[in-house]
Amino acid sequence: MSTVTQPSVPENLKSFLSAPKKLLIGGQWVDAKSGKTFDVYDPATDQVVAQAAEGDAADVELAVAAARKAFDSGAWSKMTASQRSRIIWKIGDLIEDNADELAAMETIDNGKPIGVAKAADVALAADMFRYMAGWATKIEGNTIPLNVPYVPGGQFHAYTLKEPVGVVGQIIPWNFPLLMAAWKLGPALATGCTIVLKPAEQTPLSAIRLGELCHEAGLPDGVVNIITGFGETAGAAIAAHDDVDKVAFTGSTEVGKIIIKAAAGNLKKVTLELGGKSPNVIYDDADIETAIAGAADAIFFNQGQVCSAGSRLFVQSGIYDEVVAGVSEIASNMKVGSGFDASTQMGPLVSREQFDRVSGYLKAGLDAGAEASAGGAAIDQPGYFVQPTVLKNASPEMSVVQEEIFGPVVAAMPFTSDTEIACQANDTTYGLAAGIWTRDISKAHKLARQVKAGTVWVNCYSIFDAALPFGGYKQSGWGREMGHAALENYLQTKSVCVSL
Ligand code: NAP
Ligand code: MG
């Protein structure tokens, strides 16, 4: 049975929470021009814990101007690559030095268990800056031999330059607040771009602290500007701004489509990391115990608020009952509570809105005939807690199978043959990730090729690394985050041709 415990906020976080939280524009911390602020909630208690400045279009205007000035001055893009690399590396070091504080900030803002915040969010964020620091000195063009048919005997020296795309708008979600900021800022900084970053309204805290750390690391004024505020105002102004050269967005597919339309005005470049409904496939020849634990982790990690969560569990029919029982047992025994309690395995959902959304899906799934073999309801307690839930007897047309719930809810379905499973796995508009569990390596590689997904995990799930590209097929997005691939989003290629 799930139980809920009350949180206690670490002392070191209290002073940060009570200090005014402002916008970072051109190296200065300033109030929103409107003077407005908005409340920041602790999802474990449903209490307001801080206020953040509510930036809107007027503040975005100033932030874009500051980013443009910093870009055009060359203070960042024309700094030597090795100097840039050192500053980016230093940001990673400072994240690590402040790991406890940042982890506590993620817990109070997002709800996630503090141990997870430190081991995953904070550690991966530090790693991302260090990985991208390495690339700053390795951005190279090519020399290209020419054979121009209409200039017989012509001799040319042709080469390409890789140049930063310019001023970049970055809009991020609330599920991994610091890490999403790192995924976005890392490659943009490595390539010499300047940035206006908007964190999600639910989780503005760690981005503000990261802004402070960027300056402590020696980042010139105006290179990173941070506008806290709402999507419909601040976010929309960034996406539509004529002096923003590129927008990078992570969030819902619905808002991704709005971003594309807004970007059309000046044809700014767009990359999108959107939703998912990822299949997790367990064959009957898998190491069943490992697969059961992996399937539970694939959906319950981060309260299920993971774009690549394994939310459709396909189990070969002979082991279906055993696997469903195993995942359900893990779910039923999970300790749900405050992220500040060291024994907590699952925290609250991020917001009242998300709580209502997930509760709505639970009701819809049960009404449609799915059966909860674990969980199935919200937890009657202050804070946005829901039970880790396993739905069996789910069928393909149900909303819980088709739509992204973004909560700790997995729909389990049996499959019989190898040919059938590829179709079932791909029966969604999304294509972000997939999991495959089998001891037959050939079977694993075959299905990995058939699945339309940007990431395929075999005998593991949710393995992320700064070096490994991540992004979506189909309606899960455009472009890739992380790895060498992420740099391309922030570079453009200039061909230079010289007659000798
Ligand atoms: P969302 O609305 O897509 O939010 C993502 C970011 O976009 C936030 O910073 C948001 O700002 C901003 N935004 C919202 N409307 C905008 C607009 N018109 N123009 C520019 N920016 C805008 O996601 P959500 O409402 O937080 O969550 C809804 C669902 O999205 C979730 O249930 C889940 O299914 C999905 N989601 C996916 C991911 C992912 O990693 N792929 C992450 C989060 C959510 P505000 O937060 O300030 O409104
Ligand atoms: Mg929103």
Query: What is the band of 10 on the pLDDT scale with cuts at 50, 70, 90?
Result: confident
* Average pLDDT estimate for 77-90: 96
Alpha-carbon gap, residue 424 to 406, rounded angstroms: 20
What's the pLDDT at 418? 87
What's the pLDDT at 419? 87
Question: In ligand 1, which atom is closest to the CA atom of 351?
Answer: 26
Inter-axis angle of helices 11-18 and 99-110, nearest 10: 70
Ligand nearest to the CA of 200: 1
Cβ(404) – ligand 1 distance below 6 Å:
yes
Can you tell me whether residue 384 is helix, strand or coil?
Answer: coil
Residue 7 pLDDT greater than 60, yes or no: no
Cβ(231) – ligand 1 distance below 6 Å:
yes
Q: Is 101 a catalytic residue?
A: no
Q: Residues 477-494: pLDDT tens digits?
A: 999 999 999 999 999 999
| 210 phi, psi to nearest 5 deg | -65, -35
Q: What share of the chain is helix, strand, coil (3-state, %, to 5)?
A: 40, 20, 40
Alpha-carbon gap, residue 205 to 41, rounded angstroms: 11
Alpha-carbon gap, residue 312 to 296, rounded angstroms: 11
Give me the residues near ligand 2 (ion), CB cutoff below 5 Å: 231
What's the pLDDT at 459? 98
Closest C-alpha among 176, 236, 235, 170 to residue 203: 176
What's the pLDDT at 3? 46
CB count within 10 Å of CB 259 equals 26
What's the pLDDT at 11? 79
What's the pLDDT at 12? 78
Check: CB of residue 397 under 8 Å from CB of residue 378: no
Residue 223 pLDDT greater than 60, yes or no: yes
- Atom 26 in ligand 1: residue holding the nearest Cα: 173
- Please tell me which residue in 201, 307, 404, 481 is annotated as part of the active site: 307
Strand partners, 495: 160
* Average pLDDT estimate for 395-416: 97
CB count within 10 Å of CB 212 equals 15
What's the pLDDT at 193? 98
Q: Which of 59, 171, 228 to mutate to test the pocket of ligand 1 (most atoms within 8 A of CB)?
A: 171
- Atom 8 in ligand 1: residue holding the nearest Cα: 200
Distances (CA, A) of 79 to 67, 75, 190, 298: 16, 6, 11, 42
Query: What is the band of 8 on the pLDDT scale with cuts at 50, 70, 90?
Result: low
Cβ(356) – ligand 1 distance below 6 Å:
no
Check: CB of residue 411 under 8 Å from CB of residue 398: yes
Share of the chain above pLDDT 90, in %: 96
Share of the chain above pLDDT 70, in %: 98
Residue 32 pLDDT greater than 80, yes or no: yes
Residue 5 pLDDT greater than 90, yes or no: no
Q: Residues 227-243: pLDDT tens digits?
A: 999 999 999 999 999 99
Burial of 419 (0-12, 13-18, 19+ CB in 10 A): exposed
Alpha-carbon gap, residue 221 to 244, rounded angstroms: 18
Alpha-carbon gap, residue 309 to 289, rounded angstroms: 19
Strand partners, 247: 169, 270
Cβ(44) – ligand 1 distance below 6 Å:
no
Check: CB of residue 268 under 8 Å from CB of residue 247: yes
Query: How would DSSP label each residue in 233-290?
Result: IIIHHHHH-TT--EEEEES-HHHHHHHHHHHTTTT-EEEEE-----EEEE-TTS-HHH
Cβ(200) – ligand 1 distance below 6 Å:
yes
Check: CB of residue 4 under 8 Å from CB of residue 379: yes
Alpha helices in 264-387 (DSSP H): 288-300, 320-333, 352-367
- Atom 19 in ligand 1: residue holding the nearest Cα: 236
Q: Which of 252, 351, 405 to mutate to test the pocket of ligand 1 (most atoms within 8 A of CB)?
A: 252
Q: Residues 152-202: pLDDT tens digits?
A: 999 999 999 999 999 999 999 999 999 999 999 999 999 999 999 999 999
Closest C-alpha among 402, 373, 403, 374 to residue 388: 374
Closest C-alpha among 444, 423, 177 to residue 287: 444
Cβ(307) – ligand 1 distance below 6 Å:
yes
Query: What is the band of 83 on the pLDDT scale with cuts at 50, 70, 90?
Result: very high
